[in-house]
């Protein structure tokens, strides 16, 4: 079976051909500049040692320092990290920020580590990749199962190794340690700006448009909360343990779902082990059922490859907001287009996160702290301008939104190359 990296670069190469890009340039564009794999060893609380596979892929820095998250997850592998690093390069170019693309990860279930073991792992990751990192070289951020606490340990370890406080080496840090206002909500907020523009284009009335959200972590919870406040009607939510669905057309308040999840779930190390399924007043459903709910909008905010050949024909949504990187298998994009589903692709829809990370990096370099209102005003302008540019490209080339976003991103990267 073809891996996700091959499928993703095939799709990008097709978009590059639509803008008549030279073959040699396409080859350079789809080849990572540096792939680093390491074994990271930590001491366990029990006294023994444990070794983990760890990665950093620096895909392209033609437009600025490499930028991209670090993922701690059992399914992390090099094919996935390469794909995510490529998407980061495209994404930064789509929203026009001067950063390149990278991604990192460790293959493990972080929920099995204690707080102290998690700290040792985070610091060990930095020691392993130190030579490739730095504010003007490569600036990591949080991703799945990494968070401000982990970024704080990582930034601290980096500062210790280079002998001076270097806040701009990592983004997504806690507010008290150089983090930006608005960073936690940034990906969801950026997604809402994109979604609102799309809803306008389709002539839908925002109030009461129904929405199902897969993934209830940083991104999914943030998006659901903002969508609820904006007037969208939340009818389904899910996380890794399953999903819930509102009965009799009722609306779900994501804040209340989160409160219940925290109340019932134990906090272990940096993670709440609770689930949306702890909410008893909703019908329990599986993740697969959530993807097929009769909702106007389906939000993907968990992992890659959720809409595939196996379930694409049962998706009932009119719009898919792809906040998860690679949430849709590239081979089903054409089917979704034929079925009239508007896909707001990852490289546009979830770019709010990296945009505010870029703001954080700039604030750290200049020793500034911007108010949340300034952060969101700048974010809104970048997201709506990017949406309009992608939309115009889509109309001009009769392309899908993903092809159009790829064209915009590829054009900017290859011009810089």
Q: Which residues bind ligand NAD (CB under 6 A)?
A: 142-145, 187, 214-220, 238-240, 287, 301-303, 323-325, 350, 353
Tell me whether residue 26 or residue 97 sits nearer to ligand NAD (CB atom): 97
Assigned token pair, 26 = 């396409």
Provide the minimum distance between the beta carbon of 381 and ligand NAD in the complex, in angstroms, as a whole number.
Answer: 19
Q: Which helix (H) or strand (E) covers residue 198, if one does?
A: helix 183-201
Contacts of 179 (CB under 8 A, 6+ apart): 148, 151, 171, 172, 173, 360
Provide the minimum distance between the beta carbon of 323 and ligand NAD in the complex, in angstroms, as a whole number.
Answer: 5
Provide the minimum distance between the beta carbon of 350 and ligand NAD in the complex, in angstroms, as a whole number.
Answer: 4
Helices and strands in the chain, H and E counts: 14, 14
Q: Is 218 annotated as a binding residue?
A: yes
- Measured between alpha carbons, how far is residue 230 from residues 195, 340, 348, 390 in Å? 11, 25, 20, 24
**Which is the catalytic residue, given 50, 82, 103, 378?**
103
Tell me whether residue 218 or residue 403 sits nearer to ligand NAD (CB atom): 218
Provide the minimum distance between the beta carbon of 315 and ligand NAD in the complex, in angstroms, as a whole number.
Answer: 15
Provide the minimum distance between the beta carbon of 91 and ligand NAD in the complex, in angstroms, as a whole number.
Answer: 8
With contact defined as beta carbons under 8 Å apart, do 116 and 81 qualify? no
Tell me whether residue 133 or residue 347 sits nearer to ligand NAD (CB atom): 347
The residue at minimum Cβ distance from ligand NAD is 217
Q: Is 91 annotated as a binding residue?
A: yes
Q: Which residues lie across from 179 on neighbouring strands?
A: none
The three-class DSSP label of residue 299 is strand
Tell me whether residue 206 or residue 255 sits nearer to ligand NAD (CB atom): 255
d(CA 305, CA 97): 27
* Look-up of token digits 């792992």: 121
Tell me whether residue 26 or residue 303 sits nearer to ligand NAD (CB atom): 303
With contact defined as beta carbons under 8 Å apart, do 71 and 109 qualify? no
d(CA 242, CA 377): 36
The three-class DSSP label of residue 335 is helix
The three-class DSSP label of residue 370 is coil
Q: Which helix (H) or strand (E) covers residue 25, if one does?
A: helix 23-29
Provide the minimum distance between the beta carbon of 398 and ligand NAD in the complex, in angstroms, as a whole number.
Answer: 28
Provide the minimum distance between the beta carbon of 171 and ligand NAD in the complex, in angstroms, as a whole number.
Answer: 10
C-alpha triplet 81, 82, 85: angle, nearest 5°:
85
Q: Is 10 annotated as a binding residue?
A: no
Active site residue 103: yes
Q: Nearest to residue 215, comparing CAs of 75, 105, 325, 366?
A: 325
Q: Which residues lie across from 50 on neighbouring strands?
A: 42
Tell me whether residue 67 or residue 412 sits nearer to ligand NAD (CB atom): 67
DSSP letters of 80-149? HHHHHHHHHHHHHHHTT-S--EEEEEEES-GGGS-HHHHHHHHHHHHHHHGGG-BTTTEEEEE-TT--HH
Q: Is 39 annotated as a binding residue?
A: no
Tell me whether residue 252 or residue 303 sits nearer to ligand NAD (CB atom): 303
Binding-site residues for NAD(+) sit at 187, 218
Binding-site residues sit at 67, 91, 187, 218, 357
Binding-site residues for substrate sit at 67, 91, 357
Active site members? 103
């Amino acid at each position: 079976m073809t891996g996700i990296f091959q499928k993703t670069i095939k799709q990008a190469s097709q978009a590059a051909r639509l803008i008549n890009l030279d073959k040699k340039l396409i080859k350079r564009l789809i080849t990572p500049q540096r792939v680093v794999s390491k074994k990271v060893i930590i001491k366990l609380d029990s006294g023994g040692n444990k070794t983990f596979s760890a990665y950093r892929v620096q895909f392209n820095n033609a437009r600025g320092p490499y930028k991209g998250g670090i993922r701690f997850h059992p399914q992390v592998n090099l094919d996935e990290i390469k794909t995510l690093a490529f998407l980061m390069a495209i994404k930064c170019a789509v929203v026009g920020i001067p950063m390149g693309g990278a991604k990192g990860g460790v293959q493990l279930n972080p929920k099995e580590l204690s707080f102290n073991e998690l700290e040792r792992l985070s610091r060990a990751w930095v020691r392993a990749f130190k030579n490739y990192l730095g504010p003007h070289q490569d600036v990591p951020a949080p991703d799945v199962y990494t968070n401000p606490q982990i970024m704080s340990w990582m930034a601290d370890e980096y500062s210790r190794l280079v002998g001076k406080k270097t806040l701009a080496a990592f983004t997504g840090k806690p507010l008290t340690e150089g983090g930006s206002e608005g960073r936690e909500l940034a990906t969801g907020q950026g997604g809402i700006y994109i979604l609102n523009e799309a809803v306008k284009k389709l002539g839908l009335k925002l109030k009461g448009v129904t929405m199902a959200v897969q993934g209830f972590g940083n991104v999914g919870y943030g998006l659901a909360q903002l969508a609820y406040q904006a007037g969208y009607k939340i009818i389904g939510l899910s996380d890794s343990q399953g999903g819930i669905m509102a009965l009799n057309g009722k609306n779900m308040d994501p804040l209340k779902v989160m409160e219940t999840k925290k109340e019932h779930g134990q906090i272990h190390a940096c993670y709440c082990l609770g689930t949306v399924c702890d909410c008893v007043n909703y019908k329990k459903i599986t993740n697969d059922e959530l993807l097929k709910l009769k909702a106007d909008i389906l939000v993907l905010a968990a992992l890659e490859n959720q809409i595939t050949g196996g379930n694409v024909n049962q998706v009932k949504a009119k719009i898919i907001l792809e906040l998860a990187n690679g949430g849709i298998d590239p081979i089903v994009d054409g089917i979704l287009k034929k079925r009239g589903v508007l896909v707001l692709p990852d490289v546009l829809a979830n770019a709010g996160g990296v945009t505010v990370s870029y703001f954080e990096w700039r604030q750290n370099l200049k020793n500034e702290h911007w108010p949340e209102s300034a952060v969101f005003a700048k974010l809104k302008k970048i997201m709506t301008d990017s949406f309009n540019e992608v939309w115009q490209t889509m109309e001009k080339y009769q392309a899908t939104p993903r092809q159009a976003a790829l064209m915009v991103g590829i054009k900017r990267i290859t011009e810089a190359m």
